[in-house]
Amino acid sequence: MHVDSHAHLDDPDFDADRAAVMARARAAGVRYLLAVGGGTGPDNLEATAALAESHDWIYATVGVHPHDATHFTERHAEQISKLAQRPRVVGIGEIGLDYHYDNSPRDVQSPCSFGRWNWLVKQGAQLLFTAARRGRTSAKSLKLTGNRAGWAASCIAFRAHVWTR
């Protein structure tokens, strides 16, 4: 049995052959897939939830990737909060800090990241976040949420010891 824990199936690159991609995944033994939100921008938040709701082997997260933090508004926060209540949505993400590409200014990335979702974390929501070149900062931010229930990190270029408890 295989589980794909980080798939951006809502990406427009899959528009032409999304069904075929999913069929190949199933044929290769993927039993469950996590459709990770945030990769297509804050105005497409519903895409991963819709995918999960139409396939019993797919679950979703919803969020705004740090690349798009400059476009994040309170309207998006409200929409994420509502989507997070759906049964097939299992977490908030992809959120975090991406200081590798800096597509959004660093001071804008953090406010739409960890602290904003504390109330959902306290209700048991999981976090899926990126920590590109900001492992230490992300680890500190994660500790501040008090989330002991669960999280997953998509990390680039930092030392593993940052994440030890």
Tell me the three state secondary structure of residue 45: coil
pLDDT tens figures, 89-121 = 988 888 877 877 888 898 888 766 655 666 666
Could you state, in order of their start, the residue ranges of all structural domains in the chain? 2-163
pLDDT tens figures, 47-90 = 999 999 999 999 999 988 888 988 988 898 889 989 999 999 98
91: nearest Cα among 63, 131, 130: 63
**Fold annotation for 2-163:** TIM Barrel (3.20.20)
Between β-strands 126-132 and 151-156, what pairing exists: parallel, antiparallel or unpaired?
Answer: parallel
Distance CA 43, CA 67 (A): 13
Facing residues of 33 across strands? Answer: 4, 58
Taking the whole predicted model, whether its pTM rises above 0.85 is answered as no
